[in-house]
Amino acid sequence: MRAVIVAIGVAFLVSLFCTPIAIKVFTRLKAGQPIRTDGPQMHQGKKGTPTMGGVVFILATVIAYVAGHLALTTLPDAQIAQVEPTITALVLLGLMVFAGAVGFIDDFLKVRKRHSGGLSARGKLLGQILVGAVFGVIALYFPSTMTDASGAVTNTETVGSTTLSFIRDIPALDVSKIGAVIIFIFVVMAATNGVNLTDGLDGLATGASVMVLGAYAVIAFWQYRHWCADPAYTANPNNYCYTVRDPLEIALIAGAAAGACVGFLWWNTSPARIFMGDTGALGLGGLIAGMAMSTRTILLLPIIGGLFVIITMSVVIQIISFKTTGKRVFRMSPLQHHFELAGWSEVNIVVRFWIIAGIGVAIALGLFYSDFLANMG
């Protein structure tokens, strides 16, 4: 727990104090966010606000991960099985950094062209597929070789699983390694686009991501405390344990990312002095997809990220309706813009959507804990 708290604190402080520096730098570089002319007219006042702020909390998360590992070296020997960096960290941080890099290219092109159209839809899609495929393969093909004091291997798990999972793996739904990689690519695409579509109002995606990442930190730390690779815990055969790889790493990174987002939210809340841009949105989406895979909760993700699902579906419904009937269901999509045009203030929409995000997280954590109680009973 100490390492996780250190990571959260470091990430928060780095993000909080480095974001103003980023604001000055991006302003000097004239890296302002172009605003769509066909969007809500009240957004035109945001034109020129610095973008690409996601660089700050991505960097803060990586720095906090290193700080968390330094804190691990001070723990008693029985608790330092994960002091060395792991493949799990490579996958999770790699997803965040490289998905963020795809978003950075998109943001850079928008700024350079002074137009809201950056990287083409095909280019962005190919980038997401490539990132998902590379880290999906690493997650499925590199098992752990964790050993105990006697040298015996105690954990041979991979970061991802070949079976679909809800609150834990479902053995009957084995899809093979290739199938699991394909599914993970889809999850990466869904999560990155979900966060990106949600990032339309000041602080909306940042606040929702804090809740989702906080939930994954809780889930992962709970799995660490009830871990099948912990001989002290499994000494009692009646204890229910989780078959995952490196849960403390997952909790540390999820906590660090959540802390970094809170620090960034200080400057991103209405009226935003900086936007996360596609850099941040795609980076967060990639990390959230990795969290679902590494905690073996793939099918729980639509509940934990319920707000992202709702907003994404509003776009899908709008497109299908317009192409099939020529009529729009919403005044404008994504959904938050519908309520803007209906007369809701930006702050009201953000707070109410945060409540929806919180409800999804609460339901997901309730299902997770209920499963634990049922199996312990």
Annotated binding site for Mg(2+): 196, 278
Question: Among 27, 103, 64, 44, which Cα is nearest to 276's?
Answer: 103
Backbone torsions φ then ψ of 242, nearest 5 degrees: -110, 130
CA gap 341, 344 in Å, rounded: 7
The full 3-state SS of 104-158, as one line of letters, equals HHHHHHHHHHCCCCCCCHHHHHHHHHHHHHHHHHHHHHCCCCEECCCCCEEECCC
Known binding residues: 196, 278
Rounded Cα distance, 185 and 286, in Å: 10
Task: In whole angstroms, give the CA distance from residue 71 to residue 92.
Answer: 20
* In the block, residue with structure tokens 């934990």: 304
Distance, CA of 126 to CA of 132 (rounded, Å): 10
Alpha-helix residue ranges (DSSP H) falling in the chain: 2-28, 54-72, 87-113, 121-141, 176-198, 204-225, 231-234, 247-268, 277-294, 301-304, 306-325, 335-341, 346-376
The two structure tokens encoding residue 129: 């597929």
